[in-house]
Amino acid sequence: MTTARGVFVVAALFTGVLAVSYWFTAHEPAGTTLLTFMTAALTTVAVYMFFAQREANLYADNPNATMRDAAGEHVGTFVTRSPAPFWIGITLTAIVLGFVVAPAAAGLGIVVLLFLAGLMIVRSR
């Protein structure tokens, strides 16, 4: 995971340099704020990955690993089909259309969405 972590560390450092050099060259608050938020977001992920690396011991990162090494382990189950995505899509569409046409309906849509989310969580237990 070192490389993966490196992606976020380098990105955070780079955007930090960009934010600082932008402020001192242009003194422009909107762009500086955007760049600073971006740096903060990338730093958050990079810090997380320092903690994540401790537990991650992926067969993938071992250049001499074989399929046999990983065979037999049951690490999880992949969902193969679900009606939820389609219905979430429909509900989100109804919500955004509601904002355009009738904000009250949008509010109702959000309630429906939360109910669906709750249903999914309960059923997946």
Partner 1 sequence: MSAAAVAPRVIAPERHDLLSWITTTDHKRIGILYMGTTLFFMAVAGLLAMAIRTQLARPGETLIGPHAYNQIFTLHGTAMIFLVIAPFGLGLANYLIPLQIGAPDMAFPRLNATSFWMFLFGGLIVFAGAATSEGAAAAGWTSYVPLSEITVASGLGQDLWIVGIALVSVASILTSLNFVTTAFILRAPGMTMWRLPIFTWEMIATALLIFMAFPSLTATLLLLFVDRRFGGHAFDPAFGGSPVLYQHLFWFFGHPEVYVLILPFFGIVSEIISTFSGRPMFGYTGMVLAAFAIAGLSMGVWAHHMFTTGAVNNPFFSFVSFLIAVPTGIKFFNWICTMWGGAIRYPTAMLYAVGFLVNFLVGGVTGVMVASPPVDFQAQDSYFVVAHFHYTIGGGSLFALLAALYFWWPKVYGWMLDERLGKIGFAFTFIGFNVTFMPMFFMGLFGMPRRIYTYANAGALPALNIVATAGSYLMLIGALLFVVNVIVSARRRVPAGNNPWDATTLEWATTSPPPEHNFEALPPIRSSRPLWDLAHPRSPESSS
Which spans of this chain sit near partner 1 (rule: CB under 8 A)?
1, 3-4, 7, 10-11, 14-15, 18, 21-22, 25-26, 28, 30-31, 34-35, 38, 41-42, 58-72, 78-86, 88-90, 92-93, 96-97, 99-101
Closest to partner 1 by CB, 65 or 114: 65
* Least distance from partner 1 to the Cβ atom of residue 111, Å: 19
First to last CA, the chain: 30
Closest to partner 1 by CB, 30 or 122: 30
Q: Is the dihedral of CA 10, 15, 18, 23 positive or negative?
A: negative
Backbone angles phi and psi of 56, in degrees to 5: -75, 125
Any idea of the CA torsion for 16, 21, 27, 29, to the nearest 10 degrees?
-20
